Structure 1
Amino acid sequence: MKLSKRRSALVATGLSAALLLTACGGGDDSESGSGGGGGEGGTFSIYIGEPENPLIPSNTTESEGHQVISSLWTGLVQYAADGAVEYTGVAESIESEDNTTWTVTLKDGWTFHDGTPVNAQSFVNAWNWGAYSPNAQGASYFFSNIQGYDELQAPTDADGNPTGEPAATEMSGLQVVDDQTFTVTLASPFAQFPVTVGYNAFYPLPESFFEDPEAFGTRPVGNGPFQASEDFVPGQGFTVTRYDDYAGEEAAKAEEVEFRVYADLNTGLNDVEAGNLDVLPDMPPDALAGAEDTFGDRFIEAPSSGFTYMAFPTYDPRYSDKRVRQALSMAVDRQAISDAIFSGSRTAADDAIAPVVDGYREGACEYCALDVDRANQLLDEAGFDRSQPIELWFNAGAGHDAWVEAVGNQLRENLGIEYTLRGDLDFSEYLPLQDEKGMTGPFRLGWSMDYPSPQNYLEPLYSTAALPPAGSNASFYSNPEFDSLVQQGNGASDNEQAIELYQQADDILLEDMPIMPMFFDLEQALRSENVSDVVIDVFGDIDVAAVTVNS
């Protein structure tokens, strides 16, 4: 989820051009709310929801916190607005002869906001800390393909509770060669490794982090275009300032950015309309009709990697039978909901892989097509108790109420099942409850890719290795055959073979249906007259460094 506009060559030997699974499409700046005027300097404000956790890269796995830390850090590589990999970050090169041992060479001149150098040890220390299971980092899973990761995981009992300490504190696959060089040895070949390391889990950390991680999460010290000069206040946010010693190719245009925490998307919309907020990264569904006519070029639309779905709590006996999950999915008319709620701007999902990456297949999801008769048949075969209502969960204040209610109405009409809406939790409360197996019915989730690969739509969400707290497998789905096919895809020597294996894993997933795919998204944002050059990328992030404050 990185933002950059300049493309440079990928110089990883062993990674062919075909393996750069970049997103297709992408809007250019002239059609993304850009405008004239401005110049460097000024202050603008941007809407965010409450981050789930303190602002630590390896524990930030959701959109609200990520929007903040992506302005405070720059990774080894960056991603263009259309998802293409760019060597505009800290890495000079990432090279391998066998796709297993990778040599990472860093550029000179990068510093953290406290003035200390960004060096090889900064990355190795950060990755080891993020992988070490007692630290309970939500993005720990992303290090799981590095040799020695298993030794950093504490032994557990049958319920997943730790029963001892890990065997090691450092992964054997990470070795510092010198200040500007380190090597990464993977447990098995993974040709796409350089594509992944722009994700925030792989950001570096300064030495000051390890002295007091808790305080660091309140006032983080990164190496990005903006720096935190005050504490982040839950429920309010904070203001960040431009880092004048930034070593990246483009300095931030604005002097300051105010990240403002909102509990409700409609409040944010009202503030933009009143001139009290400058950037709203998402639009409430009921404001989409006529938005272009109302707001003109201040209304921004761009391609998205976003994928909206309802996950099933597979640990709940009521949803443990895949026939129940298949039936509920087949009872929902996704296109009708898109037309009614989103003015037709969402595409009915027919795969678990989004169309923006190679590997998507039209109509791959058999159980995503409306078929009321078959849905009722499957529900009867599974012995589902229709007398008990279904609880439908979604996070509050983010504009999900209407479409989740529409899902409930269709389940009632097509299957004769009543429903109860559970939409009273803020995002920062909603996500931890999922990790605690607290969902009592289908629950809304969304996913924007972390890096441009079909693998990112599969392994981080549904693999056994990604079960909480190490990853984002909130449905607690586990299938060894799925895991094996993903791993085979990771080790494939060419793009064609990798995609074939990922699609086989996708087929297993779409048969087991631990989720109900709903929509492929479209990025829709709004800016005030105070700013221009507002670009929203395929990951759903605003490039805050590119925003111009109009004079």
Structure 2
Amino acid sequence: MQVRGLTAWTVPLVLALALTACGDADTAGRADPDGTVRIEIAEPQHLVPTHTVETSGSQVLSALFSPLVDYDAQNRPYEVAAESVTSADNRVWTVRLKDGYTFHNGEPVTADNYLDAWNYGAYGPNEQNSSYFFEKILGYAQLQGERPKARTLRGLARVDDLTFTVTLGEPYADFRSMLGYTAFYPLPKAAFTAPGVLDPGYEQAPIGQGPFRMKGSWQHDASITVERYDAFPGRQPRVAGVDFRIYQQPSAAYADVLSDNLDVIKNIPTERLGSAGDDLGDRFKRSPASSLEVLAFPTFEAEFADPRVRRAISMAIDRNGISESVFKGSEPPARSFVSPVVAGYRADTIGEAGRYDPAAARKLYEEAGGPARIELSYNTDGGHAAWIGATCAQLTANLGVECVASAVPRFADLLTAVDRREHVGLFRMGWVMDHPSMENYLGPLYGSTGSANYYGYANPEFDRLLAEGTRATTGEAAIRRYQQAEDLLARDLPVIPLRHGQNVFGHSTKVRNVEMDLFDRVDLLTIEALRAG
């Protein structure tokens, strides 16, 4: 999530950051700057920046928008659409925009476009999935509830056409880093039918200020096509357009890559990991990623309310065995709630709950009165059937329960169901960091008001430690608090960490310089199409 954030796919985490995606400089053929590339995605849930919390939507929005900041190889933020982001006290931040940016409809990009978008995203009645990310800005609380006391954030102020200030409720040293996230994109005036009222049809053909613009509209469950925006003042892409092909079955996407009918598959299907090297040769790629795969509990349901039940289920799962048998070792087992790519990661925070012990698991499960039937819900547009099936078999054998795997066609549908608290049993979730910080693996997923807290987890002590971490004046002090908060998750287990991921992807013979970032996105500024022949 998201966004990067939530991910629909199983993505095989890197053990050593030295592993990098290789360019394809030696690939035969000449680059075709007028060519279009075809990239696989799942059906997005939304395409409004403040409402998009899954990786397929984020991939599309990365074409349409340019972020205020991006991240270098050391995960340090650097300015992109921003000229500068500065603060003397980590509480009052001044954002100066680069001149010359325009939206795809010709509107000049100004400070007002950021203020309008952020205020819309923060306003509680708009029910935006990423509203949580504005919580640190002064006045956020007044925008919440059935009858908010305000419509705009007190902490946002326009200085001039290209400058605005952001005042936070408390100092937060990582605020500049946060600004690379999808929720902080601007919106044009044309996106609103009235002040603060978004056009309901906007996301069918979003207008951004990035290197590509929409070509036509979102063809649901089929495709989203974008074309190069020649007036973009930043780094121009090397292709004329991108056709985002929407697949419900990763196996179909893989077959299309092999036959050159698709140019990039972002995640090799698990059942093809063993043969992908032979199938694709040097077009089979791996690179670092930030993803984490978990099984989540609806803690608000009585049968999963007891942490002992959750702990027993965790102990009944052979993480190492599934990693080897299903993922051929490409997805290392996870026993922590954060990724190894961020500072503060510890390899084994869940301790005993992460150790495979079928006898102890069954004893604890029976003592806690665990349910006789367990349902595992997953999305079929993400290639999860094999590992879900293996997990179900282990739970049946080790706990003596009936385990049923329930398939939902699309990840967007699964998110909607759990958001409405419909009964889905345990459900799989994947998380890709929004910005490089421990906090991003904790706050959105487990904070009481977290944007991706689909399991109903609420712990005031966790919220307090998280808040103390965000107020810390040094990175080291922040990490100490975040680790204490993670220790509470290890005790309560609202989710079971299963595997870390890495980007394991492939491409056709018609493209080169295919790279993926830590956020499960293809780099649209490096990829090149090749001329036929």
Q: C-alpha distance in 2, partners of 1:284/1:329?
A: 25
Matched, 1:538 2:518: yes
Q: C-alpha distance in 2, partners of 1:377/1:41?
A: 64
> Which secondary structure state, in structure 2, belongs to the residue aligned with residue 464 of structure 1?
coil
Which residue number in structure 2 is paired with residue 486 of structure 1?
Answer: 466
Which residue number in structure 1 is paired with residue 8 of structure 2?
Answer: none
Distance 1:150 1:34, change over 3 A: farther
Q: C-alpha distance in 2, partners of 1:327/1:394?
A: 21
The one of 144, 148, 156 equivalent to 1:166 is 148
Deviation string, structure 1 residues 379-401 (Cα, Å, up to 9, x no partner): 1331224xx22001101132100
- Compute the displacement of 1:487 (Å): 0.6
- Compute the displacement of 1:32 (Å): 7.2
- Compute the displacement of 1:440 (Å): 3.5
Which residue number in structure 2 is paired with residue 12 of structure 1?
Answer: none
Matched, 1:521 2:501: yes
Equivalences for 1:121-160 in 2 at 5 Å?
121-155=112-146
Distance 1:48 1:480, change over 3 A: same
Q: C-alpha distance in 1, partners of 2:434/2:507?
A: 25
Matched, 1:381 2:367: yes
Contact kept, 8 Å, 1:2 with 1:80, in 2: the verdict is: no
Deviation string, structure 1 residues 24-66 (Cα, Å, up to 9, x no partner): 826555357984631422111111111112x110111011111
> Which secondary structure state, in structure 1, belongs to the residue aligned with residue 201 of structure 2?
helix
Matched, 1:220 2:200: no
The one of 77, 98, 110 equivalent to 1:107 is 98
Equivalences for 1:243-258 in 2 at 5 Å?
243-248=229-234, 250-258=235-243
Which residue number in structure 2 is paired with residue 56 of structure 1?
Answer: 48
Query: Which deviates further from its counterpart, 319-328 or 76-85?
Result: 76-85
Equivalences for 1:133-532 in 2 at 5 Å?
133-155=124-146, 165-211=147-193, 213-248=199-234, 250-366=235-351, 367-385=353-371, 388-466=372-450, 471-532=451-512
> Which secondary structure state, in structure 2, belongs to the residue aligned with residue 407 of structure 1?
helix
> Which secondary structure state, in structure 2, belongs to the residue aligned with residue 546 of structure 1?
coil
Contact kept, 8 Å, 2:270 with 2:383, in 1: the verdict is: yes
Contact kept, 8 Å, 1:32 with 1:536, in 2: the verdict is: no
Q: C-alpha distance in 2, partners of 1:414/1:511?
A: 22
Q: C-alpha distance in 2, partners of 1:439/1:424?
A: 13
**AA at the equivalent of 1:378:** L
Contact kept, 8 Å, 2:20 with 2:286, in 1: the verdict is: no
Q: C-alpha distance in 2, partners of 1:398/1:178?
A: 45
Q: C-alpha distance in 2, partners of 1:29/1:153?
A: 43
Deviation string, structure 1 residues 216-249 (Cα, Å, up to 9, x no partner): 111111011100131111111232110111121x
- Compute the displacement of 1:377 (Å): 2.8
Q: C-alpha distance in 2, partners of 1:287/1:237?
A: 24
**AA at the equivalent of 1:445:** M
Contact kept, 8 Å, 2:20 with 2:288, in 1: the verdict is: no
> Which secondary structure state, in structure 2, belongs to the residue aligned with residue 461 of structure 1?
helix
**AA at the equivalent of 1:355:** P
Q: C-alpha distance in 2, partners of 1:317/1:213?
A: 40
- Compute the displacement of 1:114 (Å): 1.2
Deviation string, structure 1 residues 260-306 (Cα, Å, up to 9, x no partner): 11111111111111111111111110100031232111111111100
Contact kept, 8 Å, 1:316 with 1:440, in 2: the verdict is: no
Deviation string, structure 1 residues 164-196 (Cα, Å, up to 9, x no partner): x21111000000011111111111111100010
Contact kept, 8 Å, 1:174 with 1:182, in 2: the verdict is: yes
- Compute the displacement of 1:438 (Å): 1.5
Contact kept, 8 Å, 2:258 with 2:279, in 1: the verdict is: no
- Compute the displacement of 1:204 (Å): 0.5
Distance 1:81 1:236, change over 3 A: farther
TM-score (norm 1): 0.90
- Compute the displacement of 1:315 (Å): 0.8
Q: C-alpha distance in 2, partners of 1:33/1:213?
A: 44
Contact kept, 8 Å, 2:23 with 2:513, in 1: the verdict is: no
- Compute the displacement of 1:363 (Å): 1.4
Contact kept, 8 Å, 2:51 with 2:129, in 1: the verdict is: yes
Contact kept, 8 Å, 1:304 with 1:540, in 2: the verdict is: yes
Q: C-alpha distance in 1, partners of 2:45/2:261?
A: 25
**AA at the equivalent of 2:43:** E
- Compute the displacement of 1:81 (Å): 6.2
Query: Which deviates further from its counterpart, 232-241 or 338-347?
Result: 232-241
Give the share of equivalent positions with the same residue, in percent. 40
Q: C-alpha distance in 1, partners of 2:297/2:179?
A: 30
Deviation string, structure 1 residues 89-115 (Cα, Å, up to 9, x no partner): 111111111111111111111111111
Distance 1:24 1:221, change over 3 A: farther
Distance 1:181 1:252, change over 3 A: same
Equivalences for 1:2-41 in 2 at 5 Å?
25=17, 27-28=19-20, 30=22, 35=27, 37-41=30-34
Q: C-alpha distance in 2, partners of 1:535/1:428?
A: 26
Q: C-alpha distance in 2, partners of 1:28/1:307?
A: 19
Deviation string, structure 1 residues 513-540 (Cα, Å, up to 9, x no partner): 0001000001111100000011011111
Which residue number in structure 2 is paired with residue 78 of structure 1?
Answer: 70
> Which secondary structure state, in structure 1, belongs to the residue aligned with residue 382 of structure 2?
coil
Contact kept, 8 Å, 1:461 with 1:472, in 2: the verdict is: yes
> Which secondary structure state, in structure 1, belongs to the residue aligned with residue 376 of structure 2?
strand
Question: Gaps spanning 5+ residues in structure 1: where?
Answer: 4-22, 156-164
> Which secondary structure state, in structure 2, belongs to the residue aligned with residue 524 of structure 1?
strand
Contact kept, 8 Å, 2:44 with 2:412, in 1: the verdict is: yes
Question: Gaps spanning 5+ residues in structure 2: where?
Answer: 5-14
Which residue number in structure 1 is paired with residue 10 of structure 2?
Answer: none
Q: C-alpha distance in 2, partners of 1:98/1:78?
A: 22
Contact kept, 8 Å, 1:46 with 1:259, in 2: the verdict is: yes
**AA at the equivalent of 2:299:** T
Deviation string, structure 1 residues 69-88 (Cα, Å, up to 9, x no partner): 1110011101346644222x
